[in-house]
Structure 1
Amino acid sequence: MDKMHLPAGTVDIVRVTIPPEQSLPDVSNDDLLLNLPKLSSSQLCDFCFSIPFKYIGFQRNFQREEFELRLGHNKERPFTQLLENKDRCFFCQKLLLLFRDWVAEQCGDLPFSKLGRITVQIIPHWLPTVQKDAGGHPQGRLLRLGAEFMLWGYDGDDGEHHSPNFVFQRYNKPSLSVSDFCEGSRTEEWLAEKVNAYAGRARPLLADMQIFSKWKDRCRSQHGATCEAGVVAERLERIRLIDVERRCIVEDSQDRDYVALSYVWGTAKMLKLQEGNLKHFQKPDALLSGELPATIADAIEVTRGAGERYLWVDSLCIIQDDEADKRYFIPRMDSVYACAVFTIIALAAEAADTGLPGVRPGSGSRVEEPFTVRTHALIASLDPIRMRSWDNYMGESPWDRRSWTFQENIFSRRKLVFTAEQIYWECQQGSWCEEGIWEVSGSPRVYRRAFGPASFQLPRPEEENWIHHYPNLYKNCVESYTLRKLTYASDAMNAFAGILRTLQRTWVSKFFWGLPVSYFSSALQWKTGRTFNIPIRETPVGYEDERGTLHSLPIPSWTWAAWETGISMANFSALGMASELVFHRMSSSGQLIEILESDEQPVQADENTHRPAWKSGNNAEMIASDLPRPVLNHPARLTFLFFWSSSMTLPIIWFTGYWKDLRPVLGTVEEPLRFSWMQLPNPPAAIANTGEDLGPAEMICSERREFVVIGRDMHTHVGGCADMLMLVLLERREHVVYRRGLVSIAEEDWVSTGPSWNPYVLG
């Protein structure tokens, strides 16, 4: 170690040279960090001295290249260097203490030495303004500084790689707090005179609920129709609400203002509205806080604090043992959330009894400690430490993995979001938080969208070609929704019903078991990841026919909702997949009804066009006489697709790949077909008994399976062949077949197999 000789009044710089792979002592983390000396903010190692702290904050005109140049290329260093500097460098010591607290929370008393190799990287977090200049560049940028700890050898109990990222932001001087903002009588003048835009401020551990009302009123007064309208939804004829003043259930029309709650039930013991207790819950003081799950009790206090009187909560506003009541409200979740003044989102709550952090004493834990490095005031951000993206504020949470909350988020026009350590407001025009001065209207706007891109927003009629945005909106929603988890398989359609209802009303497209009729052939060709043994949902679900009669039916295998996996949809565009077959469904009266697609579908193969060689008939109509009587009387006939198509049994040869992974190949060893799997079939039972002695490219077994064409694949090219057909791999149960895989195959190869033209009932 040596000390650089600098002129008087400059910063002390400690230089340390440490081998990158120096081992860590196998002692507790607290023991390693005992008796740390109190250091001056000017005591920095040469690495931390090179960090240009003065640039942190909002910059109207700033070249990011300048900051990158000042930071230099030496952004990463071994963790052992921080430990060596803990008694000499103020900022290294600060990082170590933050990391120690994170390890204690995530890994318990596991010492640093058990975390594998650790490196630390300094990363700039750039948040550009929404407004652009004439050249298309942001009118300003907010710079925050990240310190990312990379744990290269530790995956944790959840099997995920851990890389905590601590973010530092500029702290406003003079020191200001949430209470200063809430109590300011001249908000605009106060902002203009005393604050640095987007700088940090102190938030209390116990939330000052005045800020909820401030945010709500500010949005309503400044954002006008943009936030007031939100998603265009039909108001319900009736709705139940919790009166937070009288603490009881009231029934009324939806003309009055109310707040909605979006949360996770989890394993909590729920107090539910039922037919037997409805009259009791309508009496004043029937809903006492001591009997309510903590999250609901806290939501009542937040509603009152925001100056609202009514709250909607699913467990207490829908009669849980009344099928007719559930059938009315569950498909109308779009209206429930879109018509709320704002939605309380319990992002950090793992269950309904967790509560909302910041509402009750002891629910917040991280005390903010502003500090100064040299002359620059900073504060560690309270954003969730493990973040998916630098420009949002949402970390990993049970709420974000739950299927039901997907549509609740999409339809909410304003959101009050409770994370573990602070509360956020998000609307169409603003994203504000307790810890930072983001309520700035006179500066270019920095906007953090926590819950995904604008691709989930409904297009507005005033937008150019607005109707053409709907297919991609549907595609984006399905793909995101299917990545989430359901507690009950029977909710697979219910939790998406509000989205379908809104799309059906605004897109003017009907849906059949979750697939848009306008693009039915393309929608049938959804794909899965390259995974075997994907679970299928076989639990019956409620299905309402055209007469309004409710049936209990299995989800058909041909719709994405039946499969517990992430789904990739086709591109619904002018270059999308062709409609070359005629599909029918069955009405409740037993009639076969053609599923009519829109005129926008390309390549309509009819009698006036060239008939492809794989067709023995063009657009063959399905009639009742084509069907055996057991199908016409089948209890699940309302889930069936009826169509004529080209079919064949093909050999599947199972090989081991280079990494001993399974490879199903279509065709024979001598003459394999040109194909690409879009949904892998399940391996045959014989493969389970082969052992692990097989080498790469070794054949395990072969089988023959039935396939049927469901359309033309306009996107996949295999082996130089652009003419591809999409086939469904079938499992036959008497007169009905079920989807068990999907493959794209060269049309020429398919024709060479000698397929035949047959009627099919796909369930």
Structure 2
Amino acid sequence: MSSKSGPLSLCQRCQEWGKINIHNMTYGDIINQAGDKSTTIKEYVSIEQLAQQPYCAICTSILNVYYMRSQVIPVLQSWPARRIVVCITGPFYLDKGISNAGKLLPRGPDISDPNYIAIRMFLKIEVSTLPLESSEENKEEPSFTYRVGQVNVAMKEVSGAPTQFTATPQFVMKYSNEATPVLCDINEWEIPFFNIQVLRDWLRHCDEYHGKQCVDQNNKNATLPVGFRVIDTHDMKILQPNGFVRYVALSYMWSGESGNDIQLEESNVEGLEVKDSIRALSIPGVIADAIALCRDLGERFLWVDRLCIVQDDSVNKPIQINAMDRIYSLANFTIVAALNTRTGLGLPGFTNRPRHPRSSAWAPPHDAEVEAQGITVQHIIDGSVGTSLWNKRAWTFQERLLSKRRLFITEYQVIYECCKGQATELLTWGNQTAYEPIAGQDSVTRGDSSFEDEETSGSQQIDEVLGFYTKSQYSGNSYAIKETSSIRDYCFWVKDYTTRQLSFGTDILNAFIGVGNALGAALSSRMLYGIPEKYLAQCLLWSTSGVAYPRGETYEIPSWSWASCLSPVLYDWRYVDYDRYFFKLASLVYFYYQDPGQGLRRLDVEERWMEDEISIEDLSRREDLPALSGRRIPGEWRTNRDWRDCPQNPWRAVEHQTLDPDACRIAAMFPGALIFNTTVASLGIDHMYYKDGIPEKYQVFNASLSNISGEHVGILSELDFDWVEAHRSAEGNKKLFDVIVVSGGLVKYSMRNNYAFFGYWDKMWLLNVMLVQRLPCKPFVARRVAVGTVTLSKWKDCNPRWETVVLH
């Protein structure tokens, strides 16, 4: 059968794209002659070279993507075209692409049109700027063309050049349906609307294969907060159910724009409980679309915060906020509007809201896998959801973490995630004969999937129609609170949460309270200002880049909590997974708490000696400390000697249990304060590194701690250079600051390895310390400034003294 049009015009460089054999396709007698080997093309070409081929269809297609993206990158608008290089790699296909035997799977083309063989694929385009030359005149244009196996010398100039953007635009290539097919057409390939039936099948697949592991459909005994309301999407009204009802939750961003601020208030509660009352409202498009989507998915009830919480009810609103863990975890699933705008216009790809016409060129690039000529599915959510503005908001963090099943509606595709697996609309686009997304069409007939979601230790299983795949066991921390969630998960989540944006700093704990409730249950611990009481000793050791400047509007939050800090925080030891000792610590302090509701009480903090959970009192009854096992560990005799010589150890901690009565009376004035006995030393602060007598200037770095004799004894983590410069001692001006001990531990394994090699066994143990600032008007009271470590054997040379500290 002959084609209706002739072959496309291609330049000499792009001739390979005109041959169907560059694709690993099987259709009739047409098959990739390379067998199971990749036929990926990779070439470097300047923008000037592309522009010199205005009649080449491939060059023009690449150039169009470049011109579109360069409009928002100022440097590309002023850079010489001959010094802007594009690395073009492809073709790639929207599937994993590797069989169980490790061979490339042949792909079937779209043959719905009898005149053409259509192949849908994407390219990876990386645009870099080469350094400007001293003179642009009389320079011979270098050839950047490079194909696999043929390295061009000019490519060396590209190495290290800054990448301005990476894109993976999608194209459909049409070849003639002839004995020798030739390329007849190349067009953008975009999917303007998502298919409702695909979303239904994801949910049904999860129901059938995962069951209660992802969501319990029979939550009759579940308790929702008093005053809980939902939107009845059929009767279009607000409903306060008598008991538990199956519902969907919505996670989105409030627009904050006038005219888009309709919400539930005491004045309109009764009116909105009338049938069809919501139809008369001018609600944001994202909420209107979520209501319609729920109906299309067969769900009647939807929970949306601004229409289901009475916003001006000072009594009931805090109850709802405090129950966010139950509201999101008990939802059948959560519709997540993971968008890059707060305008609230609607859900891209739904009904009459088509996606951006050049969606794939603007979307976060696919993680292309060259050998398989497919995509790496493990990073799809990180790329599409993780980079969205929605994911940068603090309030949405708990909504993502607490929801058991999440339907992410992004600007470019829909992604599903549950406790057991993930699915992406991307992986359903390649099977156009099974699912052809058509605007307004809710159901498409297809065969049943035989995919079984099983845990595998090898390559991931992928359902070609559903786009479902199992989560990789190596995918890192997931956004899901489980019974097995640990303190390590908590530390990862705190780091993530504190990088996010809050419109009002006073919401720092409110937006985390749902996570705190769920984590408290998982860790069997009460939460104190965002920190699990049981693991207080570990969780006091957070740090931040610079100095932990307090939130001006949240001074009521004690300084020992990360919630008091303006900057993102992290736990350094959280990432040393291969060193089990670095996570453990030696308990040296009895912690008390000025509870705002109960008064002074002793905290239920887990006491331990490294790997052993053992109380300080039990340790003090022993002659020898528990032995450690493993490599690069100090011997028992040395450990016992070093700790016996230290002014703060389990034996002396028991002797100093009684709190100073005056300190306790003052602590009553500071609700939320920690009160404990510990050793305190006055130490000097200085830069860590000097060169030729001048401190080396780094924006943020570790600072040095020294005793009264000027001897280096420890470090403070992550401090501003300028702050250290302002607080260090100078000739004739000795400055000392109080440092308190909070726990003990071993140095990192990498350091132990070095110390063992050189025989520095006396440096193996350390004390975890906190630099504090005293309140001059109140004795005993101090505020946290920074954390660090002091070498255990050096502490006795710091003239430490036992004190009762009120840390607020």
TM-score computed with the length of structure 1 as normaliser: 0.73
Matches for 1:549-628 after TM superposition, within 5 Å:
554-569=556-571, 570-571=573-574, 576-587=584-595, 588-597=597-606, 602=611, 606-607=619-620, 608=622, 609=625, 610=640, 611-615=644-648, 617-619=652-654, 622-623=657-658, 625-628=660-663
2:764 maps to 722
Q: Give 1:54 shift.
A: 5.3
CA distance in 1 between counterparts of 2:549 and 2:82 reads: 35
Give, as a single letter, the amino acid of the residue that structure 1 aligns with 2:681.
Answer: M
Kindly indicate whether residue 502 of structure 2 is the aligned counterpart of residue 486 of structure 1.
yes
1:19-34 alignment, distance < 5 Å = none
Query: What is the CA–CA distance in structure 2 between the aligned matches of 1:266 and 1:367, rounded to whole Å?
Result: 25
Contact preservation (8 Å) 2:22, 2:40: no
| Aligned pair partner of 2:88 in 122, 129, 135 | 122
SS of the aligned residue for 1:252 comes to: coil
Contact kept, 8 Å, 1:346 with 1:417, in 2: the verdict is: yes
* Equivalence for 1:189: none
- Summarize deviations over 1:23-42 as a string: whole Å, max 9, x none: xxxxxxxxxxxxxxx99447
Q: Any idea what the Cα deviations from partners look like across 1:285-308, whole Å, max 9, x if unmatched?
A: 332365212222222222222222
SS at match of 1:591: strand
Determine the structure 2 residue equivalent to 1:421: 412
Residue 298 (str. 1) matches residue 289 (str. 2)? yes
Q: Unaligned stretches of 5+ in structure 1?
A: 1-37, 155-159, 176-199, 369-379, 462-466, 541-552, 691-697
Letter in 2 for 1:436: W
Tell me by how many angstroms 1:582 deviates: 1.4
Q: Give the corresponding residue for 1:658.
A: 696
Post-superposition Cα deviations, 1:638-678, rounded to whole Å, max 9, x if no partner, equal x1111111111111235764357577433279844143332
Q: Deviations over 1:182-211 (max 9, x none)?
A: xxxxxxxxxxxxxxxxxx997763555455
CA 1:471–1:387 in structure 2 vs 1: closer, same or farther (change >3 Å)? Answer: same
Is 2:686–2:704's contact at 8 Å kept on the other side of the alignment?
Answer: yes
Alignment of 1:48-127 (within 5 A): 49=16, 70-71=39-40, 75-88=43-56, 90-104=57-71, 106-107=72-73, 111=77, 113=79, 117-123=83-89
Q: Does 1:244 align with 2:282?
A: no
Q: Which residue of 1 aligns with 2:553?
A: 539
Q: Map of 1:363-442 to 2, 5 A cutoff?
A: 364-366=355-357, 383-385=363-365, 391-392=379-380, 393-394=383-384, 396-427=387-418, 428-433=420-425, 436-437=429-430, 441-442=449-450
2:723 and 2:218 map into 1 onto residues whose CA distance is 48
Report matched runs for 1:672-751 at 5 Å.
Answer: 672-680=711-719, 683-684=722-723, 687=726, 703-716=735-748, 717=751, 720=755, 721-733=763-775, 734-735=778-779, 736-751=781-796
Q: Distance in 2 between matches of 1:592 and 1:585?
A: 5
The one-letter amino acid paired with 2:706 is G
TM-superposed deviation, 1:761:
0.8
Secondary structure (helix, strand or coil) at the match of 2:346 reads coil
| One-letter identity of the residue aligned with 2:662 | L
- Contact preservation (8 Å) 2:83, 2:130: yes
Residue aligned with 1:287, SS: helix
Residue 492 of structure 2 is matched in structure 1 by: 476
* Alignment counterpart, residue 261 of structure 1, candidates 243, 250, 264: 250
Whole-angstrom distance in 2 between the partners of 1:683 and 1:317: 49
Residue matched to 1:282:
273
Corresponding letter in the other structure for 2:233: V
1:151-210 deviation digits (Å, cap 9, x = unpaired): 5689xxxxx9741322447789999xxxxxxxxxxxxxxxxxxxxxxxx99776355545
Does the CA contact (< 8 Å) of 1:459 and 1:470 recur in 2? no
Contact kept? 1:236, 1:253, Cα under 8 Å: no
Instruction: List per-residue Cα deviations over 1:614-643 (Å, max 9, x = no partner).
Output: 328224565565333652431x32x11111
Structure 2 unmatched ranges of 5 or more? 27-31, 108-120, 133-161, 178-186, 369-374, 436-447, 452-460, 463-467, 626-639, 756-762
2:240 counterpart SS class: strand
Partner secondary structure for residue 627 of structure 1: helix
Cα deviations by residue, 1:388-441 (Å, 9 ceiling, x for unpaired)? 996315163210111121221122233332222343333443413176157883
Which digits, 9 at most, give the CA deviation of each residue in 1:59-79, with x for residues without a partner?
9xx9x99756x447x644433
Contact 1:592 1:623 in 2 (8 A): no
Cα distance, 1:526–1:139 mapped onto 2, change above 3 Å: farther
Take 1:448 and 1:516, find their aligned partners in 2: how far apart are those partners? 32
The aligned amino acid for 1:429 is: G
Q: Alpha-carbon deviation of 1:126?
A: 9.1
Following superposition, the deviation at residue 511 of structure 1 comes to 2.6
Structure 2 residue corresponding to 1:164, chosen from 139, 148, 166: 166
Q: Does the CA-based 8 Å contact 2:247-2:331 persist in structure 1?
A: yes
Distance in 2 (CA, whole Å) between partners of 1:330 and 1:437 is: 43
Query: In 1, distance between residues paired with 2:279 and 2:411?
Result: 25
Q: Compared with structure 1, are the counterparts of its residues 222 and 491 closer, same or farther at alpha carbon in structure 2 (3 Å cutoff)?
A: same
2:732 & 2:272 partners in 1: Cα distance? 64
Counterpart among 670, 673, 678 of residue 645 in structure 1: 678
Take 1:174 and 1:295, find their aligned partners in 2: how far apart are those partners?
A: 43
| Corresponding residue number in structure 2 for 1:31 | none
Equivalent position amino acid for 1:401 in 2: K
Q: Report how far residue 115 of structure 1 moved.
A: 8.9
Change (3 A) 1:386 1:632: same
User: Structure 1 residue 108: deviation in Å?
Assistant: 8.5
Structure 2 CA distance, aligned partners of 1:599 and 1:506? 20
Q: Answer yes or no: is 1:505 the counterpart of 2:521.
A: yes
Q: Is the 8 A contact 1:227 1:429 kept in 2?
A: no
Which whole-Å deviations, capped at 9, do the CAs of 1:104-142 have from their partners, x for residues lacking one?
3x3489736379953222346798869996x9x799799
Identical-pair percentage: 21
**Partner residue of 2:759?**
none
**Residue in 2 aligned with 1:545?**
none
Q: Give the deviation of 1:682 after TM superposition.
A: 8.0
SS of the equivalent of 1:323 reads coil
Deviation at 1:384, TM superposition (A): 3.5
Q: Which amino acid in structure 1 is aligned with residue 47 of structure 2?
A: F
> Residues 166 and 645 from structure 1, CA distance in 2 versus in 1: closer, same or farther, beyond 3 angstroms?
same
Distance change (3 Å), C-alpha of 1:498 and 1:381: same
Cα separation, 1, equivalents of 2:217 and 2:570: 28
2-side partners of 1:709 and 1:110: how far apart?
54
Are residues 419 and 714 of structure 1, via their aligned partners in 2, closer, same or farther at CA, if it must alter by over 3 Å?
A: same
Size of the aligned set, in residue pairs, is 648
Contact 1:426–1:449 (Cα < 8 Å) also in 2: no
Partner-residue secondary structure (3-state), 1:216: helix
Residues 218 and 715 from structure 1, CA distance in 2 versus in 1: closer, same or farther, beyond 3 angstroms? same
Q: CA deviation at 1:449?
A: 7.1
1: distance between equivalents of 2:19 and 2:719?
52
Counterparts of 1:344-355 in structure 2 under 5 Å?
344-355=335-346
Q: Equivalent of 2:128, from 147, 150, 175?
A: 150
8 Å Cα contact 2:708-2:798 kept in structure 1: no
Alignment match, 1:456: 478
TM-score, normalised by the number of residues in structure 2: 0.69
Q: Secondary structure at the match of 1:322?
A: coil
